[in-house]
Amino acid sequence: MNIMYLKYAIEVAKVGSINKAAENLYIAQPNLSRAIKELESSLGFEIFERTSKGMVLTVEGDQLIRYAKTALEEFDKIEDMFKTNNKQLFSISVPRASYISYAFMKFSKYIDNDNPAEIFYKETNSFKAIENILDADYRLGIIRYASKYDKYFKIMLEEKGLEYELISEYSYKLIFNKNSSLADKEEIRYQDLKEYVEIAHADPYIPSMPLSKVRQAELPEDIDKRIYVFERGSQFDILSENENAFMWVSPLPKTYIDRYNLIQRECKDNDKVYRDVLIYKKGYAFTKLDKLFLTELTNAKREIFENK
């Protein structure tokens, strides 16, 4: 069934005249007449009775027009919803990582102010990032895990039909207030952190492992004072004011270190390696905005990790 012919039929029914409908639709009268006849032929019944008073709907025609109006209204809604010729669309779920947010800040400058845009940037754990791609129509995700769990994640991603690409591999750094007594130490060891308060987020996720074991691995018991904060901005606010707090992070941009009055240092005992991995559905083709973000992510990694 030709949708355009349905629109023609609705207009003819509205004005009751082929000639008037042709004028309103800006098409030739013979072409409109032929379109209506072709629509009737495809349906197997007459939509209109041709009378001296004009075009009058048949019983079947009246039913058709009522259904057609409803269907075309829904079709127009769908068309408006998914018309992406000029709408800028981008969505990604990421770990709480300052180098990624730094890249996103740079990327945001590419958003065209002359066209509509829907941009989603969500900081969450690996489980939610995967779930958002599979169930919430997010296009991209970045997940983080300790390198020793690499095989677990790769098996799970393949089972779920997701592609994956390594973005970065690194060991966590320590950050703390510039006025912290940790700043005076020539080198920092695990035992030096026991008297301080750790700022942590407590939502790690490793597939095929109980959460209790994951937490034990990610949040060892030698630190007995923790503040669990799930929003990265608040974590930095605490560190900028609390001289007795510290946090483990992926390497930070100098901009953030200076902004929050922090120091970034290595811990001599820390040998745990983490991986940040880009994920997306198999067969997904990167959009222009996706590519721009990934370019800025590469630039941020180069700038921050090479100068860490």
Which helix (H) or strand (E) segment holds residue 75: the answer is helix 59-82
Per-residue confidence band for 221, with pLDDT thresholds at 50, 70 and 90 = low
Q: Nearest to residue 172, comparing CAs of 154, 190, 156? A: 190
Task: Please tell me the distance from the alpha carbon of residue 131 to that of residue 203, in angstroms, as a whole number.
Answer: 14
Residue 76 has pLDDT above 70, yes or no: yes
Task: Please tell me the distance from the alpha carbon of residue 273 to that of residue 170, in angstroms, as a whole number.
Answer: 5
Average pLDDT (210-226) is 61
Average pLDDT (253-272) is 94
CATH assignment, 3-82: 1.10.10.10
What is the pLDDT, as a whole number, of residue 84?
53
Q: Where are the domains of the chain?
A: 3-82, 88-305
3-state secondary structure of 95: coil
Question: pLDDT of 90-145, one tens digit each?
Answer: 999 999 899 999 999 999 999 988 888 999 999 988 989 999 999 888 999 999 99
End-to-end CA distance of the chain: 63
Q: Which residues pair with 273 in a beta bridge?
A: 171
Average pLDDT of the chain to the nearest whole number: 88
- Which class does domain 88-305 fall in? alpha beta
The DSSP output letter for 283 is T
Q: DSSP states of 145-179 as a string?
A: EEGGGHHHHHHHHHHTTEEEEEEEEEE-EEEEETT
Give percent of the chain with pLDDT exceeding 70: 90
Question: pLDDT of 151-210, one tens digit each?
Answer: 999 999 999 999 999 999 999 999 999 999 999 999 999 999 999 999 987 555 545 455
Report the largest interatomic distance among the alpha carbons of the chain, rounded to a whole angstrom: 102
- Residue 126: which residues within 8 A CB-CB, separation 6 or more? 95, 143, 144, 145, 153, 204, 205
